[in-house]
Structure 1
Amino acid sequence: MNAFQSSRPWYRSPLSLAITSALAWAIAAPVSAQESSEAQAQSDTSSAERAATLDRVVVTANKRVENIRDVAASISVIGERQLENLGASSLADYASLIPGMQVQDNGSPGQTSVSLRGIAALSSGASVATYIDEVPVGSSGIYQGANTLMLDVLPYDISRVEVLRGPQGTLYGAGAIGGLLKYVTRAPDVSGDEFRLGFGMRTVNDGGDAWNTRFGASVPLKEDRLGLRMSFARNGLPGYTDNVVDGREDINDSEQMGARAALFWDGDAFDLNLSVLQQRISADDRGGTALDPETMEPLFGDLVDRTWQHQPFSKELTLTSLSLDWDMGWADFVSATGWSQTDTMTQIDSTIQFGEVANALLGLPEPGSSFVRYEFDLDKVTQEFRLSSKSGGRFEWLVGIFYTKEDALQTQLAWLGQLDGSPLPAPYDEMFSTLTFLGLPSTYKELAVFANGSWRIGERFKLDAGVRQARNEQRFSQNVSEGILVPIGNTPGESEEDVFTWSISPQFKLGEDAMLYARAATGYQPGGPNVAIVGIPPKVDSSMLSSYELGLKAQFAEQRVQLDLAVFRIDWEDIQVASSFNGIGGLVNGGEATSEGAELSTLFRATDALTVGFNVAYTKADIKNDFEPTVIPQDGFDVILNTGLAGDRMPYVPKLSWALTAEYAFAVGGFNGQAGAALRGVGKRLNDTTERQRITAPGDPSTVLDEEITAPLELDSYRALDLYAGIGKGNWELRIYANNITDEGAWSSLTPINSAITGTHVQVAAVPIRPRTFGIEFDYRF
């Protein structure tokens, strides 16, 4: 089955554990990406306030509250106002506003992969770390599908989303090899009441419609000391793809629900924040279109898929966090504690892959139908203590210690029945309906110490540096209790490793509103114990990378123009990739890759009412050498697999992506409003790397008996236009939006689906970008 999950064909599934990529194709994802500006977190639409706050966006990238213009790193901020204007409900809705960010949508919220600056999700571990305020969420290990099940927080009661590009290993540790995605929630107000009530509707072209509602309240329990904030939101996401097998329409509708309660104590010496957040995502099925593997044209029409089994998805996150900020006079002490539980279930139709087991292996008169169900259970505890100097001095310092423990379980069930979905006839139902059932319990423990310092030399020069020493210990077991596809038995494994990361960043003030900086940093993606399979090493080592960046941040023309420019090069070593044969495989350390490029973000306040932005990202991410081969002995021959060849482009990384944005704010007759547009473009992408499979004489790799090379599929470039407008007066506001207004047809991902029995190329599963979507929202604040 598929411990790591992937989108490769059955015979080369990159992240599989035990049967065939058949089990993996649906959990894998691909996508497009884009870019945009570093936008401000603001709640008022007046142009005067936007002008006043343009240069005062605050971030916590260095675990201090700082002006974004003073941070020597590439950071984008998406504010609450922007999320509302766009009608955003998931990462994919605002990824185009982040230069160099790719989000692969697998057909429903919560089934996403995220990469930054070409550091693609080739492993089953995350390449981008996720934080909610001070607490990391999601798994650091390799057995929870972190690469394709990225946390997709419902963007309500979120003050802003911070995205840090480039490795953040020194301050944020494991998994931040490509960057950091940080959700900053709204804090309770201790000085006054705030209530908010809203509702809305959205509809998709040639699809369904759905409603949403939300409520938020902030109440001071003790004036100027203690505040309580509560919120609830429900989003309905209408479906738009149909299923030719059973005639169902709009099968991929889904629902998001989120609730949060937070207590905040504002003391003289210390602040205390206790928060409980719960979010649930549920989808009846996933969006998809069945394509002809030769012509790449839809087999049954636009937005029509072919599946015999339902493909539900659900994800529930409960996060409790407690943070203490103590002003000790000479320094600040922070304690951040987090407890989280994440339960995920995803089911994929595997009829094409396994249905022929019924007739070809069992001798029944016709093929059957099949599904594979994955369940992921993760309990995670984190604790961070840090001590930092006061801000503003010539030398600023920070030291800390971090601990995390994860108890995780992944289970996989492959089921076989008749083509109509009923059980196999007796006695086959009891003997063969469970093709495989396995459990993969694992634990992950990490302890790290870190330090960071900033030294101001004169009025213009500043030097930042940081180090982190981490040690992780992991335990794992491969427990197969039923089935005919994987040998029954229990096989334990363990690993431990020490990892050192560092960063250094000099910066030079060219003037009051201009800064030139350089940054060199390292990051890592944890390894771990491997599956017990012939040809696969007992453990996989951490992936490591080094990043070099040169950037310019400037404002000029009386602060009406803002410009951010960065060029970078990343060297990636010991890349974790999957190697599999006949669907059985695990992770190996493949080789090296480089990613280099440039990102430009500009924001121009043409008038007090009109703001125009343009953003572009160029990324060239290529494999440097043939990935290390995996040798799999067979009866009378060897199979030698390379899952990437020198010169291959990283999957789902466009060389060019861009966005042009504009917003006009107005005030007339006591009404305030705004109208805006975003035109976004994504270049061509590839869905995978090249695989080379060689059949050689036993023990003699020089004698090649047969060779097969599978090239990746290409996704065309596309452009999409989003429009929005809003008007309000006093306590109420009405907003409308239209996303993908021209109804551009394009693919977010492509995944070949082949028979695991015969190897026949049957179809390509394509996930479309969301068709034209209209929405209307109303909010009342009192």
Structure 2
Amino acid sequence: MATVSALALLPGVAAAQSTIQSSAGQPSSGEASGDAEIVVTALRNEQTLGTVPLGISAISAEKLEERAAKSMADFVALTPGLNLQSIGAAGNGVVAIRGISPQAVAGTVATYIDEVPISSSGIGARGGLYQPDLDPNDIERVEVLKGPQGTLYGASSLGGVIKYVLKKPSLTETDIHLSEGLTMFDNGEPGIALRASATTPLITDKLGVRVSAFYRHDPGFVDDVLLGGRNVNDANAWGVRGGLYWKPVDNVSVDLSAMIQQTNSQGFSTVDLDWQTFEPLYGKDTQLRAVPEYLKVRTEFYSATLKWDTGAGTLLSSTGYAYVAPRDQGDMTYNYTGTGGPIEYGTPGAARGSHINKQFSQEIRFSSNRFGPVEFTVGGFFQRAKTDDRYDYLTFTEGGVVDPNAPLLGQNYASGVGKEYAGFINGNLYLTEQFDISAGYRYSHIEQTRSSVRGGAFLYGVPPFSLTDSRSTEENKSTYQIGARWRPSDDLMFYVRAASGYRPGGTRGVPPTAPPGTSPSYTSDTIWSYEAGMKVKALDGRLTFDADVYRIDWSDIQTLVYFGFFNTVGNGGKARSEGGEIQATFEPVKGLTLTANGGYTNARFTEDAPEVAVTKGLPIYYVPKWTATFGADYGWELANGLRANIGGDYAYRSSQLDATRFRLPGYSILNLRAGVKGDSFGVNLYVKNVTDKRALVGTSQGYYEFFNPFVVVVNEPRSYGITLTQNF
């Protein structure tokens, strides 16, 4: 439940062997090819996955389609080191990479679409709780970069970057792709997914267009025992996208793209447990809400990218605008009534919020060709982000209607503007053809202005009291990267890398219980990461293996600082995350592909910090220590050009601490799939969560010692589905 989780923070992939990147302007076939190398743009130029000297995973469109993916939750298990803790609906969750997770409300992972950042880089729009979560329609691949990426991706890429790469219009071929999906939970209602895309050249080799659209109805499985609703957590989503790709001459291209997606979740995947026994209060998959809950997220993205191959290198200009607007409402009735164990049902109330981030960005960079032993990328970046974050705490009448005569019980409003000006340079020096060293530097100047109003009986217990604040901050930050890569052969690479990152500081509200002289601002936190890894391809490409180990030191952590019962955002404590990851793909016999990935993350605070209520050795929130996924797929040729496949995967995640310090138990999930595919059509059958494993994947009602019921987020039950695809 999004708003309740937010209240607790207020005062009081595996590398897939698929051809997923074709030459510019050509559509990807999506067909598996053991000889193909995935091409990624992680370092702001095209490189094959096996030559990128850092931890990275890439998930192809084909893999997403095979798994009937609809959101980020469907590819997390394919990506060692990546974790998502849901707060009850797609787009409302906490994302962590390599143990670096939000300890307050600002995100630690940057999200990009192509060349454009779409996630907020500060506290303003609660990017740590509302992560952009796209439907995979018209996505070419998802790249997950692990570890700080401060020199190339700037602020708030402390833990890493999630990058959605969209499909480009074709300049040579007409292609139409349709898909229809049907899914159903045990004893539940059906859900549907309709997707369509088309691309065609308007002027052969010069101008191409691409359009796409989708609609989804995701079925629910949670029932409400007071409002009388069945499947109250169902959701509807839709989206459209258009793109133009123009090559007026061979060495110049212009790529225009626009996308809108809207997701409306009618409720949250939360159930009510008894605060002492942790048993369901009202039965399996049930909740009791006095007011309706919802999460509505609108995402808009517009970009214009110009590339010019100068002969000496490529000059790129990327202009983008992103609008991400989550709006939610959560039942706060139990919080309004009181605390301290089982309590009587009180006056219905809710928190209604909106968390809007609008940002414009402009980047210009030049990536050189290799000049003797040297190649480099140099550029400049500007971003202006306007955030508007607010919560109203409302009283409702019975039946879930706002009481027009009741006073506002509380308010928490904040709006601001942040600007970032940055210059960066990254280069490689080839000491031999097999050995090179790299270095990078980025200088950023950040300006922020923020105004806020907080008050009301619910937040501070004193109805007349309100806290207003309007302040500006400026800071200059530098980030660094240095590494080395050794390729003794085309099929073997070793690398080491050290890199830094940061997250901007800002202003904050000071609770009434804070001592005199408490600063109205907090500072940026910083990361230093040290990584070593290897990437192997053997047995004529039938075996690929990536492995890495890392250590990350985190200082001045942005988290919650406590002043008596109240808290606010501040800095406190240090932490360290140490671990390793592996990704492997093996084809022992023709047609059979075995995959495995695993991650170990030991992320803990390294000193006592009473001001933030942590002790040395306490695990960082939202981080499982162990993750592993094993998969097997077998494909064989049928008659008339048809190909059949059958497969499945088994994913395990160990226990982890929620922000309430409740330990969520570990769990494992088994998925199965089978299908037949031809040149013009395909049929894919799947069963998700075959054993109907019910797991707690998050909490949302705050500290269970204080509230009854204890509200937890649960995973989806067993579901069955079929997807049909057609190509023209």
Provide the TM-score with structure 2 as the length reference.
0.93
Classify 1:754/1:329 alpha carbon distance in 2 versus 1 (closer, same or farther; 3 Å): closer
Aligned residue in 2 for 1:620: 602
Deviation at 1:268, TM superposition (A): 2.1
| C-alpha distance in structure 2 between counterparts of 1:6 and 1:147, whole Å | 15
Deviation at 1:145, TM superposition (A): 1.1
Q: Of residues 371, 376, 391 in structure 2, which corresponds to 1:397?
A: 376
Classify 1:753/1:463 alpha carbon distance in 2 versus 1 (closer, same or farther; 3 Å): closer
Q: Of residues 721, 728, 741 in structure 1, which corresponds to 2:677?
A: 728
The 5 Å alignment of 1:632-651 reads 642-651=612-621
Aligned residue in 1 for 2:127: 146
SS in 1 for 2:709: strand
Aligned residue in 1 for 2:66: 85
Deviation at 1:391, TM superposition (A): 4.9
1:501 aligns with 2:479: yes
Aligned residue in 1 for 2:271: 289
For residues 99-118 of structure 1, the C-alpha deviation after alignment (integer angstroms, 9 at most, x for no partner) is: 01101122211112211011
Aligned residue in 2 for 1:171: 152
| C-alpha distance in structure 2 between counterparts of 1:553 and 1:484, whole Å | 55
Q: Of residues 495, 499, 518 in structure 2, which corresponds to 1:521?
A: 499
SS in 1 for 2:348: strand
Q: Which amino acid aligns with 1:463?
A: I
Native 8 Å contact 2:561 2:571 kept in 1: no
1:673 aligns with 2:655: no
Native 8 Å contact 1:95 1:102 kept in 2: yes
| C-alpha distance in structure 1 between counterparts of 2:706 and 2:511, whole Å | 25
For residues 330-362 of structure 1, the C-alpha deviation after alignment (integer angstroms, 9 at most, x for no partner) is: 2211000001222220111100001459xxxxx
1:656 aligns with 2:623: no
Q: Which amino acid aligns with 1:196?
A: H
Classify 1:623/1:355 alpha carbon distance in 2 versus 1 (closer, same or farther; 3 Å): same
1:455 aligns with 2:429: yes
Q: How many residues align?
A: 707
1:52 aligns with 2:35: yes
Aligned residue in 2 for 1:336: 318
Classify 1:164/1:366 alpha carbon distance in 2 versus 1 (closer, same or farther; 3 Å): closer
Q: Which amino acid aligns with 2:486?
A: F
Native 8 Å contact 1:679 1:720 kept in 2: yes
Aligned residue in 2 for 1:187: 168
Deviation at 1:416, TM superposition (A): 1.6
Deviation at 1:417, TM superposition (A): 3.2
Deviation at 1:480, TM superposition (A): 4.9
Classify 1:272/1:658 alpha carbon distance in 2 versus 1 (closer, same or farther; 3 Å): same
For residues 658-699 of structure 1, the C-alpha deviation after alignment (integer angstroms, 9 at most, x for no partner) is: 01011111111121122221111111212137xxxxxxxxxx
1:742 aligns with 2:691: yes
Q: Determine what percentage of the aligned residue pairs are the same residue.
A: 30
SS in 2 for 1:352: helix
SS in 2 for 1:324: strand
Native 8 Å contact 2:269 2:715 kept in 1: no
Native 8 Å contact 1:37 1:614 kept in 2: no
Native 8 Å contact 1:201 1:775 kept in 2: yes
| C-alpha distance in structure 2 between counterparts of 1:575 and 1:751, whole Å | 23
Aligned residue in 2 for 1:692: none
Q: Which amino acid aligns with 1:668?
A: L
Aligned residue in 1 for 2:714: 768
Aligned residue in 2 for 1:685: 656
| C-alpha distance in structure 2 between counterparts of 1:621 and 1:64, whole Å | 32
| C-alpha distance in structure 2 between counterparts of 1:84 and 1:622, whole Å | 37
Deviation at 1:245, TM superposition (A): 1.9
Classify 1:171/1:160 alpha carbon distance in 2 versus 1 (closer, same or farther; 3 Å): same
Aligned residue in 1 for 2:140: 159
SS in 1 for 2:35: helix
| C-alpha distance in structure 1 between counterparts of 2:175 and 2:16, whole Å | 28
Aligned residue in 1 for 2:23: none
| C-alpha distance in structure 2 between counterparts of 1:304 and 1:484, whole Å | 27
The 5 Å alignment of 1:688-727 reads 688=659, 712-727=661-676
Classify 1:69/1:753 alpha carbon distance in 2 versus 1 (closer, same or farther; 3 Å): closer
The 5 Å alignment of 1:7-156 reads 7=5, 13=8, 15-16=9-10, 18=11, 20=12, 36-42=14-20, 49-53=32-36, 56-156=37-137
Deviation at 1:36, TM superposition (A): 3.7
CA-based RMSD = 2.2
| C-alpha distance in structure 2 between counterparts of 1:780 and 1:393, whole Å | 49
| C-alpha distance in structure 2 between counterparts of 1:175 and 1:409, whole Å | 19
SS in 1 for 2:33: helix
| C-alpha distance in structure 1 between counterparts of 2:419 and 2:565, whole Å | 30
The 5 Å alignment of 1:233-244 reads 233-244=214-225
Aligned residue in 2 for 1:701: none
Native 8 Å contact 1:595 1:622 kept in 2: yes
For residues 550-593 of structure 1, the C-alpha deviation after alignment (integer angstroms, 9 at most, x for no partner) is: 10111122221111110100000010001346874311101100
Aligned residue in 2 for 1:417: 396
Higher relative contact order (CA 8 A, sep 6+): 1
| C-alpha distance in structure 2 between counterparts of 1:270 and 1:467, whole Å | 28
1:379 aligns with 2:343: no
Classify 1:57/1:199 alpha carbon distance in 2 versus 1 (closer, same or farther; 3 Å): same
Q: Which amino acid aligns with 1:354?
A: Y
Aligned residue in 2 for 1:349: 331
Q: Of residues 199, 206, 214 in structure 1, which corresponds to 2:187?
A: 206
Q: Which amino acid aligns with 1:377?
A: I
Classify 1:193/1:750 alpha carbon distance in 2 versus 1 (closer, same or farther; 3 Å): same
| C-alpha distance in structure 2 between counterparts of 1:618 and 1:39, whole Å | 24
Native 8 Å contact 1:325 1:333 kept in 2: yes
Aligned residue in 2 for 1:543: 525
Deviation at 1:537, TM superposition (A): 2.8
Classify 1:608/1:393 alpha carbon distance in 2 versus 1 (closer, same or farther; 3 Å): farther
For residues 183-213 of structure 1, the C-alpha deviation after alignment (integer angstroms, 9 at most, x for no partner) is: 0000000111111222111111233211121
Q: Which amino acid aligns with 1:656?
A: W
Classify 1:438/1:593 alpha carbon distance in 2 versus 1 (closer, same or farther; 3 Å): closer
Classify 1:754/1:521 alpha carbon distance in 2 versus 1 (closer, same or farther; 3 Å): closer
For residues 148-195 of structure 1, the C-alpha deviation after alignment (integer angstroms, 9 at most, x for no partner) is: 100001111000000011110000001110000000000000111111
Native 8 Å contact 1:753 1:763 kept in 2: no
Deviation at 1:291, TM superposition (A): 1.0
Q: Of residues 259, 262, 266 in structure 2, which corresponds to 1:280?
A: 262
Q: Which amino acid aligns with 2:422?
A: A
Deviation at 1:72, TM superposition (A): 0.4
Deviation at 1:779, TM superposition (A): 1.2
| C-alpha distance in structure 1 between counterparts of 2:17 and 2:277, whole Å | 42
Unaligned runs of 5+ residues in structure 1 are: 21-34, 358-364, 630-641, 690-711
Native 8 Å contact 1:367 1:418 kept in 2: no
Of 293-302 and 460-469, deviating more is 293-302
Native 8 Å contact 2:272 2:286 kept in 1: yes
Native 8 Å contact 1:45 1:665 kept in 2: no
| C-alpha distance in structure 1 between counterparts of 2:455 and 2:663, whole Å | 40
Native 8 Å contact 1:95 1:103 kept in 2: yes
| C-alpha distance in structure 2 between counterparts of 1:581 and 1:764, whole Å | 25
Native 8 Å contact 1:143 1:440 kept in 2: yes
For residues 414-455 of structure 1, the C-alpha deviation after alignment (integer angstroms, 9 at most, x for no partner) is: 01234554566xxxx64x431123431111100010000011
Q: Of residues 409, 412, 420 in structure 2, which corresponds to 1:446?
A: 420
Q: Which amino acid aligns with 1:127?
A: T
Classify 1:531/1:38 alpha carbon distance in 2 versus 1 (closer, same or farther; 3 Å): farther
| C-alpha distance in structure 2 between counterparts of 1:367 and 1:323, whole Å | 55
| C-alpha distance in structure 1 between counterparts of 2:467 and 2:575, whole Å | 37
SS in 1 for 2:88: coil
SS in 2 for 1:688: coil
Deviation at 1:753, TM superposition (A): 4.2
Segments of 4+ moved more than 6 angstroms:
481-484
